[in-house]
Amino acid sequence: MITFNINGKTARVDADPDTPLLWVLRDSLQMTGTKFGCGMALCGACTVHMDGQPVRSCTTPASTAVGKKIVTIEGVDSSRVAKAVQEAWQRLDVVQCGYCQSGQIMSAVALLTQNRKPTDADIDAAMAGNICRCATYVRIRAAIHEAAKALA
SS3 73: coil
d(CA 58, CA 35): 9
pLDDT tens-digit readout, 78-128: 789 999 999 999 999 999 998 999 999 999 999 999 999 999 999 999 999
d(CA 76, CA 87): 13
- What is the residue-averaged pLDDT of the chain? 96
Q: In what order do the strands lie in the sheet with 2-6?
A: 9-13, 2-6, 69-71, 47-50, 53-56
Q: Which domains does the chain show, CATH number per domain?
A: 2-71 (3.10.20.30), 76-151 (1.10.150.120)
What is the reported pLDDT for 78?
Answer: 77
d(CA 86, CA 99): 15
pLDDT tens-digit readout, 9-68: 999 999 999 999 999 999 999 999 999 999 999 999 999 999 999 999 999 999 999 999
